Amino acid sequence: MNDPIITINGLNKTYKGGFQALSHVDLTIQRGEIFALLGPNGAGKTTLISVVCGLVTPSEGEVLVDGYDNVTDYRQARERIGLVPQELTNEAFETVWNTVSFSRGLFGKAPDPAHIESVLKSLALWEKRDNRLITLSGGMKRRVLIAKALSHEPRILFLDEPTAGVDVELRREMWQVVRELRDNGVTIILTTHYIEEAEEMADRIGVINNGEIVLVEDKQALMRKLGSKQLTLYLNEPLEALPASLDHPELSLSAEGYELIYTYDGHQEEDGHGIPTLLTALEREGITFKDLHTRQSSLEDIFVDLVRA
């Protein structure tokens, strides 16, 4: 897949006062993907989104949105983007319908009640169209933010921390909404510091730390490449030490010799050190076990390793 919808080249951002929030950011977002930008607090996620959306001026670099430079062709670039901010702004007494219709008007688009209707229906807000925002639940308010961002028919949707501080049920509901949008052809870029969210949602994951993109990778490939697995064998008889034939850095003993732990990442098989080899060696040594357990390292382990580095 190589059909970029956003191309970011050499972006630097130094805020007044000298703080460098973005450093040499190069990033390409592919049409139709869900891209999760993962990073700890203060890493530069919101700054990066704000630069792409034209809300913050970069110190250096360029951003192309569907081929349009977001400075020299600002309007063309901006109208392709919907931005869902973290917080609802103060239109508490306005109705859902008016709020969403007004947002469309801000982009200079002619009114299109049929489009607003379809957006509200797709977000399960149609029944609430005449309600004032103040009367809505937290989940509905979040969906109104998405409806506003979709009111002008953007092809790209930025979601800044879409589920920060919401409960598990609502988080799942939001994920479903986002998936449906992607299925309808909208490219999604979301920022999060919830690893689970990136793991659950993303096609690709970018990790940002101290204003630098430290990794961009297909999620599955990332899990395969950096993830490791652990096999624990619960032995019938404890071992004081590993026999010479099993003395290998990937093998260790714990629980006073009752557990044999094998850490592997898929490369061992090629080197002739895989699980079948291990089991044959155990049999040869007369070591028996009563149970086993495997565990795969999660994106969380990978992420913690990356931002600690």
Interface residues toward ligand ATP, by CB under 6 A: 15, 17, 19, 21, 39, 41-47, 193
| Tokens, residue 73 | 């062709």
184: which DSSP letter?
Answer: T
Nearest to ligand ATP of 23, 268 (CB atom):
23
Distance in Å, CB of 197 to ligand ATP, minimum: 13
Give me the amino acid identity at 289. F
Q: CB of residue 164 vs ligand ATP: minimum separation in angstroms?
A: 8
Q: Which of 91, 179, 181, 171 is nearest to 138 (CA)?
A: 171
Nearer to ligand ATP, 104 or 142 (CB): 142
Question: Between residues 37 and 260, which has the closer beta carbon with respect to ligand ATP?
Answer: 37
CB of 64 to ligand ATP, least distance (A): 21
**Between 15 and 74, CB nearer to ligand ATP:** 15
CA 61 to chain centre: 24
The Cα–Cα gap between 144 and 147 comes to 5
How many C-alpha atoms does 63 have within 13 Å on its Cβ side? Answer: 28
Nearer to ligand ATP, 187 or 192 (CB): 192
188 sits in which H/E element: strand 187-192
Picking from 268, 262, 265, 269, the residue whose alpha carbon sits closest to that of residue 292 is 262
Q: Report whether 211 contacts 22 (CB < 8 A).
A: yes
The distance of closest approach from Cβ of residue 77 to ligand ATP in the complex, given in angstroms and rounded to an integer, is 20
Q: Least distance from C-beta 8 to ligand ATP, angstroms?
A: 14
